[in-house]
């Protein structure tokens, strides 16, 4: 009798492959992607050599593809603006605690159309991975408050 187990990613029951006795994720593409992502995140956390190698490989790749990205940015203004906006967010995050950021939000400053990085308040300052990039187009704005 074949034993089934529950996939760590989707929670569905699956039968482990014969040649992978310790399989913990089902064979679906999404769950295999999740498995690799978890493996890599864990590696990055526990293995400083792996972390250094990854950083070096990425830097090398960027160095070898700098003209590609320069041309891509020149041809895709929306992408360029999104990057600038995200960099501004990172810069702001660097110089403000999350509480200071809340104060920034409360300033009576008009919200301009543009790209914004949207993340859960609890995730601010933790990781960029859970952030959405959204484009907000202002269709109408409230009148300026009386001073």
Q: Where does this chain bind Zn ion (CB under 5 A)?
A: 7, 9-10, 26, 28, 31
Least distance in angstroms from the C-beta of 7 to Zn ion: 3
Least distance in angstroms from the C-beta of 13 to Zn ion: 9
The sign of the CA dihedral 122, 128, 131, 133 is positive
- Per-residue CA distances from 28 to 7, 8, 92 (Å): 10, 12, 40
CA 121 to the chain's CA centroid: 15
- Between 31 and 124, CB nearer to Zn ion: 31
Least distance in angstroms from the C-beta of 66 to Zn ion: 39
Least distance in angstroms from the C-beta of 87 to Zn ion: 36
- The string of DSSP letters for 111-140 reads PPSEEEEE--GGGTTT-STTPEEEEE--S-
State the burial class of residue 14 (Cβ atoms within 10 Å of its Cβ: 0-12, 13-18, 19+).
Answer: middle
- Between 10 and 86, CB nearer to Zn ion: 10
- Between 9 and 124, CB nearer to Zn ion: 9
- Between 13 and 136, CB nearer to Zn ion: 13
């Amino acid at each position: 009798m074949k034993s089934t187990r529950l996939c760590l990613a989707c929670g569905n029951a699956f039968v482990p492959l014969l040649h992978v006795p310790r399989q913990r994720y089902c064979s679906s593409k999404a769950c295999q992607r999740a498995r690799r992502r978890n493996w890599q995140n864990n590696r990055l956390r526990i293995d400083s050599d792996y972390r250094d190698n990854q950083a070096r490989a990425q830097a090398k790749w960027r160095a070898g593809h700098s003209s590609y990205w320069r041309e891509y940015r020149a041809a895709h203004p929306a992408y360029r603006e999104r990057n600038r906006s995200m960099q501004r967010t990172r810069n702001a995050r660097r110089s403000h605690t999350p509480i200071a950021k809340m104060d920034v939000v409360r300033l009576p400053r008009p919200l301009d159309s543009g790209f914004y990085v949207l993340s859960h308040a609890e995730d601010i300052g933790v990781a960029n991975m859970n952030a959405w990039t959204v484009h907000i187009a202002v269709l109408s704005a409230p009148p300026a408050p009386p001073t």
